[in-house]
Amino acid sequence: MSMVKWAGVVALACTGLLAAVPARAAGEISCRMNFQMSGWSIFYKTASGSGTVSCSNGQSMHVHLRAKGGGLTFGKTRIDHGVGKFTGVGNIREILGHYANAEAHAGAEKSADAQVVTKGNVSLALSGKGSGWNLGVAFGAFIIEP
């Protein structure tokens, strides 16, 4: 095989390989969510809220949030000015869905909370300050919807 033909075969093979590489291989994007939530718990825990996700590639999305679960838990809480930081994201649409969580909490009047929830390769570190009172251990889901 001549050198010119060999170079053509290598170029075609490389073109095919590049087409097969997912866009994510080019690098993950960083995304941040500002949110607020409120809810209650008496053995069953429920909360809802909203937020805005903004990513380093310029994408943004308004989202609705829900948390639900059960355990030995009692209380009523509100989180204002919450912040979430996502890792493992290649496209903003990957932040949507159900995240698994487990938490232990205690607070009265003004309180602070931090937790990490996961969904496959995507993780979300949540932190916030709020008001209310709560006590207990809960397991469940944190859900992000468009």
Please report, for the chain, the start and end positions of each structural domain, with discontinuous segments joined by +.
Answer: 28-145
Which structure tokens are listed for 103? Answer: 């938490």
pLDDT (mean) for 27-41: 91
pTM, two decimals, is 0.74
Task: Give the span between the Cα atoms of 42 and 135, in whole angstroms.
Answer: 10
42, β-bridge pairs: 44, 74
Residue 21's φ and ψ, nearest 5 degrees, are -80, 125
The predicted structure's pLDDT at residue 6: 36
pLDDT (mean) for 11-21: 38
Most confident residue range from 9-23, 98-112, 132-146: 132-146
Hunting for tokens 């069953």 — which residue is that?
Answer: 44
72, β-bridge pairs: 137
